[in-house]
Amino acid sequence: MTALDTERLGRRAEAMLEELAAISEEPDRLTRRFLTPEHKRAAHLVGQWMAEAGMETAEDALGTVCGHYAKEGETPGANVVPRLLIGSHIDTVINAGKYDGMLGVVAGILTVEHFRDAGRRFPFAVDVLAFGDEEGVRFPTVLSSSAALAGRFEERWLAGADRDGVTLEEAMRGYGLDPAAIPTAAMRKDEALAYVEIHIEQGPVLEHDDQPLGVVTSIAGQNRTRVTVSGMAGHAGTVPMPLRQDALLAASEMMLAAEAIARTHPEAAMVATVGQTKVMPGAINVIPDRVEFVLDLRAASDPPRLAALREFVTRSEALAAARGCAVAFDTYHDCPTAPCAPWVADGLAESLTSLGLPAPRLVSGAGHDGQSIAHLTDFAMLFVRCRGGISHNPLESATVEDMGLAVAALIRFVEQFDPQRRA
């Protein structure tokens, strides 16, 4: 094993993240949603880096950039080549930080570059994947690009529209992708050996415990439920308060009910968030007659989360009725808790040990592509400490030192990776 210059790796990662962060839909903040021209520019840059690092590159039917580092003695065009998958995402939330997702992609590229420079190949290929729809902030889909890779893309997702009425199908065509080709994005189960992802923690645990890196044990389950509340529009000056059917007031009570329900389940680390609302008709002097919002509900185990969702529905129906309103629910995303595979997580822990680092374990409250890849192959994740646990915010930050250690850990993981350990 050669010594690793972790400081250089960290600096390289930081420089690449800086370059990616400059590609934004908005001039003064980082916003790069799935299938936008900026997503395409970021995908192009990542593909260029992958090629420079010694990978063959391709774009799959959902726009995922796939870099392939051939196994030793690989015959070009060989049908089934066993691959270790390394990945993360290059889409962002609105007003994002520059580490969420991008760090995992950059770490994979730097890892392959290290082996190319060392002239090293393995008995398996290494594929680096840059997914485009992890955040799910544009269309009513979440993880659709990794779902396609896992062969779990659902045709009905194509009709889902963004805020401007552009459907996923239309956006795919605009990006230059063919929806009919989606099945070709699916990888064969016998090709994938395991999936690993490096990601900033997005929470405060590692910083609190003074640890640079941690090994993830599982990803919290999540649902996203669109709630549509219907009332009656009316004049803001003439309709007396008791005679109103105000959809926004009913929706507000529902949001507070969601908060109250989540607060009663600290044992399941339950969290409820409403980060997007649409108020119609949206005029200052008109009583709102229709409100749409999405409840994002997560917990470390599934039964309390599903019970909480049922309770939310029952309470919301009563709250709507009390105001003469109607309410409808559409749970378009319901992802169970995804446990990491112990043999892959142990491999990551051993790579930390080989660097002289402790290997604390922690749960991920944030969602990740591993949740859909779990249907294809075993997965595990390595978390990197981030300042103040802040994420989904431009203040997101990780140090050069910690990122260098994370890339070094990934290099050691690949060197020590033994597919025979799979049960």
Task: Name the residues that contact Mn ion, by CB under 5 A.
Answer: 100-101
Distance in Å from the first CA to the final CA of the chain: 27
Give the one entry of ligand GLV, Mn ion, none that residue 47 binds, where binding means its C-beta sits below a cut-off of 5 to 8 angstroms depending on kind.
none
Tally of CA atoms within 13 A in the half-sphere of 35 that contains its CB:
28
Kindly state whether residue 366 participates in binding ligand GLV, applying the rule CB under 6 A.
yes
Closest separation in Å from C-beta 385 to ligand GLV:
17
| Residue of 135, 197, 289, 292 that binds ligand GLV (CB under 6 A) | 135
Identify what 367 binds: Mn ion, ligand GLV, none; CB under 5 to 8 Å per kind: ligand GLV
In terms of CB distance, is 219 or 261 closer to Mn ion?
Answer: 219
User: What is the pairing mode between strands 338-339 and 326-335?
Assistant: unpaired
N residues, the chain: 423
Q: How far is the CB of 135 from ligand GLV (least distance, A)?
A: 5
The DSSP annotation for 98-149 comes to: SSTTHHHHHHHHHHHHHHHHHT---SSEEEEEEES-SS--SSS-SSHHHHHH
The smaller minimum CB distance to Mn ion, of residues 101 and 212, is found at 101
Residue 258 dihedral angles phi and psi, to the nearest 5°: -60, -40
Residue closer to ligand GLV, measured from CB, 10 or 367: 367
Q: Which residue is nearest to ligand GLV (CB)?
A: 367
Looking at the Cβ atoms of 113 and 135, the one nearer to ligand GLV is 135
What whole-number distance in Å separates Cα of residue 127 and Cα of residue 167?
30
Dist. CA 406–CA 106, nearest whole Å: 11
State the nearest-atom distance from the C-beta of 116 to ligand GLV, in Å.
31
Q: Count of residues binding ligand GLV (CB under 6 A)?
A: 3
Element (H, E) at 379: strand 379-384
Which lies closer to ligand GLV via its Cβ, residue 9 or residue 384? 384
**Residues 189-218 close enough to bind ligand GLV by CB under 6 A:** none
> Per rule CB under 6 A, is residue 288 in the interface with ligand GLV?
no
- Tell me which of Mn ion, ligand GLV, none is bound by residue 214, counting a contact when its beta carbon lies within the kind-specific cut-off of 5 to 8 angstroms: none
| DSSP 3-state percent helix, strand, coil across the chain (nearest 5) | 40, 25, 40
Closer CB to ligand GLV, 113 or 296, in the complex: 296
CA 227 to chain centre: 22
Q: Is 132 an interacting residue with respect to ligand GLV (CB under 6 A)? A: no
Dist CA 60 CA 132 (whole Å): 11
Query: Given the rule CB under 6 A, which residues bind ligand GLV?
Result: 135, 366-367
